[in-house]
C-alpha cells in the first residue's frame, strides 16, 4: 500500500480473542504472519506483519486496567474504515440510528479510533490516522482483500454507511451476482453488502474479513488441521474460489483466490 487510505476505505482489521498467543500461532501458521505479544503500554496488542509490513492486529480480551474480560466476548474480526475525523464519524453514526460501542480514543500518536454498531447491530471501527495509516500490505496472498457486511436490511445499511464513513452504495456490476450492494469510494468498490438469507438461521449481522490465498483448498485443510472449523467448504463463485472458516476460538473469516489480479486501494 502506497500513501494514505481514502476516507471510507477499509484500512485495518483486528481480532480480539481470549487466548492471544494461540491466535498468533494459528494465523502465523496459516498465513505466514510474524508477530509476538505486544508491550504492556500497548495492552499487549500485536501488529502482525507480512514481508515486514503491518497486515492485521490481534489482541487479548482485556480491560483497560489490564485485567481479563469476564466473560470473554465472542472472538471476532473487526473491520476499520479510514476517516478524517473519528469523532465526527461517531456523531454521524448516532444521528443515523447506530450505536457507539467504544468512544473515540487516542492510540498514542498512531491515530484515533472508535468502534460503532450500525442500526442492524453489525460492529465495525473507524480509524483516523496519525503516524499509522493502516495495513501496509493488502490485496496480496495472505493479506486482506475484501470486507463484507451481512445484514438484515441492505438498503438501510448502505444508507447508514453513506452517512458515516463515507461511501456510496451501488448495485453490484459483477456478472452473475444479484442482490449484492457495493460500497464505493472514488468510483472503486471497497466493500460489499449482502443479505443474511444465505447464512444459517440465527446468524447476526456482521462484517466478514476475506484474506487472499494462493490455494483455498490447501489453506482450508491447514486450518482444520490446526484446530479450526470449515463452515462453508471451498466452492466456486463468479469472483473466484472461496471458503468460510472459523479459527479454534470461533472467529469467522473467509479465504479466497480471486479470478482477477488484486488491485491496490487508491491512495488519497
The predicted-structure confidence for 163-204, as pLDDT tens digits, reads as follows 999 899 999 887 777 789 999 999 999 999 999 988 888 999
At residue 112 the predicted structure's pLDDT band, cuts being 50, 70 and 90, is very high
pLDDT exceeds 90 at position 261 = no
pLDDT exceeds 90 at position 268 = no
Contact 24, 48 (CB under 8 A): yes
pLDDT exceeds 90 at position 256 = yes
Residue 250 phi, psi dihedral angles, 5° rounding: 100, -5
Among 65, 20, 9, 74, which Cα is nearest to 44's?
A: 20
User: Considering the chain, what percentage of its residues have pLDDT values greater than 90?
Assistant: 81
Contact 23, 30 (CB under 8 A): no
Strand pairing report for 252-258 and 206-212: parallel
What's the whole-number mean pLDDT along residues 15-41?
Answer: 95
d(C-alpha 183, C-alpha 166), whole Å:
9
pLDDT by residue (tens digit) across 198-248? 888 899 999 999 999 999 999 999 999 999 999 999 999 988 999 999 999
Share in percent of the chain as helix, strand, coil (round to 5): 20, 40, 40
The whole model's pTM is what? 0.94
At residue 264 the predicted structure's pLDDT band, cuts being 50, 70 and 90, is low
At residue 263 the predicted structure's pLDDT band, cuts being 50, 70 and 90, is low
pLDDT exceeds 80 at position 148 = yes
Q: Which residue has the cell 466456486?
A: 236
Contact 145, 214 (CB under 8 A): no
User: What is residue 73's DSSP assignment?
Assistant: P
Q: What per-residue confidence (pLDDT) applies to 47?
A: 97
Alpha-carbon distances, residue 103 vs 86, 91, 244 (angstroms) = 9, 10, 31
What's the whole-number mean pLDDT along residues 66-95?
Answer: 94
70 contacts: CB under 8 Å, gap ≥ 6: none
Among 6, 14, 4, 2, which Cα is nearest to 168's?
A: 6
Q: What per-residue confidence (pLDDT) applies to 222?
A: 98
What's the whole-number mean pLDDT along residues 1-18?
Answer: 91
Q: What per-residue confidence (pLDDT) applies to 179?
A: 85
Amino acid at each position: 500500500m502506497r500513501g494514505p487510505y481514502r476516507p471510507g476505505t477499509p484500512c485495518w482489521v483486528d481480532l480480539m480473542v481470549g487466548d492471544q498467543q494461540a491466535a498468533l500461532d494459528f494465523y502465523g501458521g496459516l498465513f505466514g504472519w510474524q508477530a509476538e505479544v505486544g508491550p504492556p503500554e500497548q495492552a499487549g496488542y500485536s501488529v502482525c506483519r507480512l514481508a515486514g509490513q503491518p497486515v492485521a492486529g490481534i489482541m487479548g480480551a482485556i480491560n483497560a486496567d489490564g485485567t481479563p474480560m469476564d466473560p470473554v466476548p465472542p472472538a471476532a474480526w473487526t473491520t476499520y474504515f479510514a476517516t478524517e475525523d473519528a469523532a465526527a464519524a461517531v456523531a454521524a453514526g448516532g444521528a443515523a440510528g447506530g450505536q457507539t460501542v467504544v468512544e473515540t480514543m487516542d492510540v498514542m500518536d498512531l491515530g484515533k479510533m472508535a468502534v460503532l454498531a450500525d442500526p442492524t447491530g453489525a460492529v465495525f471501527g473507524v480509524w483516523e490516522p496519525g503516524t499509522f495509516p493502516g495495513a501496509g500490505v493488502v490485496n496480496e496472498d495472505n493479506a486482506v482483500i475484501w470486507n463484507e457486511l451481512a445484514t438484515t436490511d441492505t438498503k438501510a445499511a448502505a444508507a447508514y454507511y453513506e452517512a458515516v464513513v463515507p461511501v456510496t452504495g451501488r448495485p453490484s456490476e459483477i456478472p452473475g451476482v444479484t442482490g449484492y450492494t457495493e460500497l464505493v469510494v472514488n468510483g472503486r468498490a471497497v466493500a460489499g453488502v449482502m443479505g443474511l438469507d444465505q447464512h444459517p438461521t440465527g446468524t447476526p449481522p456482521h462484517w466478514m474479513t476475506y484474506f487472499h490465498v494462493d490455494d483455498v483448498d490447501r489453506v482450508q485443510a491447514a486450518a482444520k488441521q490446526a484446530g479450526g472449523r470449515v463452515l462453508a467448504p471451498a466452492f466456486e463463485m463468479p469472483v473466484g474460489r472461496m471458503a468460510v472458516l472459523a479459527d479454534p476460538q470461533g472467529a469467522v473469516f473467509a479465504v479466497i483466490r480471486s479470478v482477477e489480479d488484486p488491485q491496490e486501494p487508491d491512495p488519497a
